[in-house]
Amino acid sequence: MVLSRISHPIDSNFVKPQVGFGFTHDYGTQKSTLENTIKSSLETNKDTSWVRMGGALRLNTIYAIYEGQTFPLGTSGRNEWTWDTWRINVDSYSKGIQFAFEYRFYPTFNTHFVKYGWLGYKFTDNTNLQIGITQVPFGLLTYASHSWWFQAPYYLGLEDNHQIGFNYTHNLGDWDFNFAYFPLSEPRGTSDPAFGPYSSARYSYDVIPVDGNSNIERHQINIRAQRKIENWKLGLSLQHQEIYNQVTTNNGNQLALALHGEWDWSRWNFKSELIYYRYHDVRDDDQQLLSSVQMGAYGFGSYDVASEAVVYLAGIAYSIPVSWGPISNIQVYNDYSLVQKTGSFPIRGVNSPFVATQQNVLGALLTAGKIYTYLDMASGYNHPWISDSFGGNALGPGRGEQYNEPISDQNPIDPTPGWNTRINLNIGYYF
């Protein structure tokens, strides 16, 4: 929705401000354009001023087959219609200054928070600086996924992550370079303590402080380089941050590396990524070395994440233009992730190796005017969200033989956990 556009031509002749109200956004036919509404960073005319407001309202329902059981229709939290989210977007540009802001509300979890909010400036056509809560330049941008779900790196804090600091971008021919520094993770929002600690009220998955484990992220540095070669975008990303314990003042750290590629040709899109990450010398409040860190988001509690792992992902999508009443396009896709963890947990005096996490999402995105519908079948094991028992040990050691209980001598790690499936329907009106 364009609120105003004021133009002052270079020849200094005054042009009457143009003020219009209308739903003018074209969100395209894929997640990368639908969920990313920022246009101000692309503006080059420093004699122009404009403000655009928009947002989305989304409903969600699921049918779950978790741990071998289904759930009756209308059961609370299962197989019922809920508000997924509603959000407000502001995108503005005024005489060279960029502004972008998004605030999200999740009624089901009684939480709301800022996703991003930053000021920017384009020094030249090829050089841009953003300051504030901005997306971390790591891996595939804007998303490593096609579906309503993300790929596994999102749940590890390595896809569509946002932090507070600055992000410097420079384009040189076929090359794109990013250098970013984030002194702290993004500020938390507001949540219901019945769902989890206040520290988890955020959009991005971060290391958060919980009872007995007061670690936070700070002093994060990101370097990213990407080159365009015909239909490919090939890149390398580096991330390093400090993991600081607020009780003991212990300084651990995280290192993450990614090789990533994206291919666009005609109606096809292919994404692939290889990630290695390691948390080093991260300790709890009793100075015990941690083999898993605690991460959280959405005001929905925290869960274990293995301190070291290699992540593989691939996703492919194909767009089909149609003329079925209001439906103009269907994009079908399949996204797959594998998290192979390094680590072990002592069980009855023997170190049991951590068990991998897998995720696969087969689905379609339907475009019908300003209504966009994701229909996904998400399957996986040792996944914190695809389970009747949220979080826990899934992304750490893996689920125990009793999947809803902590790992212990009495509940050893299950070496062959079964796959769970969730059919998810998400209907959104984007304006």
Query: What pLDDT, in 10s, does the model give residues 265-309?
Result: 999 999 999 999 999 999 999 999 999 999 999 998 899 999 999
Looking at beta carbons, which pairs linking 97-100 to residues 24 or more positions away fall under 8 Å? 97/121, 98/40, 98/41, 98/43, 98/122, 98/128, 98/130, 99/40, 100/38, 100/40, 100/41
Residue 5 has pLDDT above 60, yes or no: no
Q: Read off the pLDDT of each residue in 225-235 and give the average, rounded to a whole number.
A: 97
CA–CA separation, 116 vs 99, rounded Å? 10
Give the residue-averaged pLDDT of 130-157.
97
Residue 3 is predicted with a pLDDT of 46
Phi, then psi, of 129 in degrees rounded to 5: -130, 130
Distances (CA, A) of 121 to 132, 163, 280: 12, 18, 36
CA distance 295 to 127: 34
Once rounded to an integer, what is the mean pLDDT over residues 209-222?
96
Beta carbons of 76 and 68 less than 8 angstroms apart: no
Among 70-74, 105-109, 192-196, 201-205, the range of highest mean pLDDT = 201-205
Please tell me the distance from the alpha carbon of residue 58 to that of residue 378, in angstroms, as a whole number.
Answer: 19
Q: What's the rounded mean pLDDT across residues 63-74?
A: 80
Question: What three-state secondary structure class fits 153?
Answer: helix
DSSP 24: -
Q: Tell me the three state secondary structure of residue 421.
A: strand
Tokens 């508000």 — which residue?
83
Mean pLDDT of 81-102: 94
Is the pLDDT at 401 greater than 50? The verdict is: yes
SS3 25: coil
Domains and CATH numbers, the chain: 56-87+138-430 (2.40.160)
Q: How far is residue 248's CA from residue 236's CA, in Å, rounded to a whole number?
A: 35
Continuous segment of H or E residues that includes residue 34: helix 31-34
| The predicted structure's pLDDT at residue 10 | 33
pLDDT at residue number 158: 98
Q: Closest Cα to residue 207, out of 141, 306, 113?
A: 306
pLDDT of residue 301: 85
Residue 336 has pLDDT above 50, yes or no: yes
Q: Could you give the maximum distance between any two Cα atoms of the chain, in Å?
A: 82
pTM: 0.92
Over range 349-355, report the average pLDDT: 94
Lowest mean pLDDT among 74-88, 154-168, 361-375: 74-88
| CB within 8 Å of 194: residues ≥ 6 apart | 110
The rounded distance, in Å, linking the Cα atoms of 328 and 323 is: 5
pLDDT for residue 353: 96
CB atoms within 10 A of CB 112: 18
Is residue 139 a contact partner of residue 150, using CB atoms and an 8 Å limit? no
Confidence of residue 4 (pLDDT cuts 50, 70, 90): very low
With cut-offs at 50, 70 and 90, classify the pLDDT of residue 68. Answer: confident
Quote the pLDDT of residue 23: 46
pLDDT, position 24? 58
Strand partners, 97: 94, 121
What values do phi and psi take at 187, rounded to 5? -65, 145
Q: Check pLDDT > 80 for residue 21.
A: no
Residue 108 is given by DSSP the state G
**Full 3-state SS string of 275-340:** EEEEEECCECCCCCECCEEEEECCCCCEEEEECEEEEEEEEEEEEEEEEECCEEEEEEEEEEEEEE
